[in-house]
Homo-oligomer: A and B are copies of this chain.
């Protein structure tokens, strides 16, 4: 694979461009919108993630010689279209929910303005990134909300594709996780990385004691020792024997965690290791984390469930043409009308309605308005927070949302957004979206 993102797409995006160039409609100014018809089953809110990654991928969405040759050889599109692709760079406007923002059914998460051809060709890439990253962030936020302030580490790289692993680490961090095991996420996005040893390190040595001594010799007594290779009780005693009562942390990766954590705490305390922390890492999800709220657990490591969206591995977002200009230059709203998958046409912007206490009460989608329009007058007793921010303006990317700085900004934005949601948002059980979506 080359570094160009241009082939991370569906063939039909290119054949549509090809047919539109031939029919003379390729240059019609259009507005596309990414949104979710519904939240994953029973969730109260979703979290947008992937925006910063997406912007970098759109910027590298260029057709180089390698791509053009392949398209020509495989007769995917005709010569005039190859010329158009060779000159492709996105020159339109993109508005979007800030990364880390909460969303609800119908929230206009990303709006893309430009010619039909330059907008449609980004469909697959936009959805791949938003659907995966938002699915992880949406699950991660629920885990954070039940962790009672104890740190969560994302450790699921081995349970998702090797590139998705990097995206997952980043999305979980935006949603409030403290760290990741994934090195590339540390390098590319500034996510703090962590990790010490697996069971194989213990099994490599002639005894558990040899393994613990080797690890403490390498990293000092503040390290985390994995104590459940053979027998947790004996493992803890040995760990404190080897590292002393200043042992930083033990990790437990199996067993009935409420029981095991309680007895581990008692054992550590009885050995004088009163400051040694307990990390648990065994197939955790938001439900098992919540079940540990009264347990003496100091940190959680979460793998499979967070990188697979805890039962909802794709956020269900779609990317639809909602308006185009007619020959007179007027915007015309368009939408599918077949009954099974109806959608709301028209250009849109949206605000979150807050009450006097600053608590969110509704997602208001204003139809037929330009994202750049002024904010509407707020309700008398509250205020409206504008949700769409300009990400790309006439082809110029807003640098604030990119790279490590953009990731930190998203994390900070997410934290402030969560403060604003009504308390019912944090119920784990199945239910309706916590805010109604009002179309105006």
Question: Contacting A255 at CB < 8 Å: which of B15, B166, B313, B338?
Answer: B338
- Report if A404 contacts B (CB, 8 A): no
Known: A8-B182, A15-B195. 6 other contacts (CB 8 A): A19-B217, A120-B200, A204-B334, A230-B336, A255-B340, A282-B340
In the bound complex, residues from chain B placing their C-beta under 8 Å from that of A316 are 304
Can you list 18 A-B pairs with a CB-CB distance of less than 8 A?
A: A8-B165, A9-B182, A10-B195, A23-B210, A23-B217, A25-B204, A28-B204, A32-B200, A70-B187, A76-B193, A124-B181, A127-B158, A128-B157, A129-B161, A160-B313, A200-B320, A204-B334, A230-B336
Q: Are B254 and A341 closer than 8 Å at their CB atoms?
A: yes
Q: Are B25 and A205 closer than 8 Å at their CB atoms?
A: yes
Q: Which residues of A contact B (CB under 8 A)?
A: 1, 5, 7-12, 14-16, 18-20, 22-23, 25, 28, 30, 32, 57, 67, 70, 74, 76, 78, 116, 120, 123-125, 127-129, 131-133, 155, 157-167, 181-184, 186-188, 193-201, 203-206, 210, 213-215, 217-219, 228-232, 253-255, 282, 304, 307-309, 313-314, 316, 319-321, 324, 326, 334-341
Question: Contacting A12 at CB < 8 Å: which of B164, B167, B196, B229?
Answer: B196
CB proximity of A14 to chain B, nearest CB, Å: 7
Q: Are A199 and B320 closer than 8 Å at their CB atoms?
A: yes
Copies in the complex: 2
In the bound complex, residues from chain B placing their C-beta under 8 Å from that of A182 are 8-11
Residue on B nearest A304 in the bound complex, by CB: B314
Question: Contacting A230 at CB < 8 Å: which of B30, B183, B324, B338?
Answer: B338
The 3 closest A-B pairs by CB, nearest first: A12-B195, A23-B214, A163-B163
CB proximity of A62 to chain B, nearest CB, Å: 14
Residue on B nearest A54 in the bound complex, by CB: B162
Q: Give bound CA distance, A366 to B336, whole Å.
A: 59
Q: Give bound CA distance, A213 to B155, whole Å.
A: 52
Q: Which of A164, A196, A200, A206 has the most CB of B within 10 A?
A: A200
In the bound complex, residues from chain B placing their C-beta under 8 Å from that of A57 are 162
Q: Give bound CA distance, A340 to B229, whole Å.
A: 10
Question: Contacting A313 at CB < 8 Å: which of B201, B253, B313?
Answer: B313
Q: Are A164 and B160 closer than 8 Å at their CB atoms?
A: yes
Q: Are B214 and A22 closer than 8 Å at their CB atoms?
A: yes
Question: Contacting A200 at CB < 8 Å: which of B205, B230, B255, B321?
Answer: B321
CB proximity of A260 to chain B, nearest CB, Å: 9
Q: Are B336 and A203 closer than 8 Å at their CB atoms?
A: yes
Q: Are B304 and A16 closer than 8 Å at their CB atoms?
A: no
CB proximity of A217 to chain B, nearest CB, Å: 6
Residue on B nearest A341 in the bound complex, by CB: B254
Q: Are A161 and B187 closer than 8 Å at their CB atoms?
A: no
Take A28-B204, A164-B132, A229-B338 as given contacts and tell me if A188 and B23 are in contact as well, using a CB distance cutoff of 8 Å. Answer: no
CB proximity of A130 to chain B, nearest CB, Å: 9
Q: Give bound CA distance, A215 to B217, whole Å.
A: 69
Q: Give bound CA distance, A65 to B406, whole Å.
A: 26
Q: Give bound CA distance, A332 to B30, whole Å.
A: 67
Residue on B nearest A182 in the bound complex, by CB: B10
Q: Give bound CA distance, A7 to B230, whole Å.
A: 31
Q: Are A161 and B22 closer than 8 Å at their CB atoms?
A: no
Q: Are A128 and B165 closer than 8 Å at their CB atoms?
A: yes
Q: Give bound CA distance, A23 to B207, whole Å.
A: 13
CB proximity of A24 to chain B, nearest CB, Å: 8
CB proximity of A185 to chain B, nearest CB, Å: 9
Q: Are B254 and A20 closer than 8 Å at their CB atoms?
A: no
In the bound complex, residues from chain B placing their C-beta under 8 Å from that of A339 are 254-255
Q: Are A321 and B25 closer than 8 Å at their CB atoms?
A: no
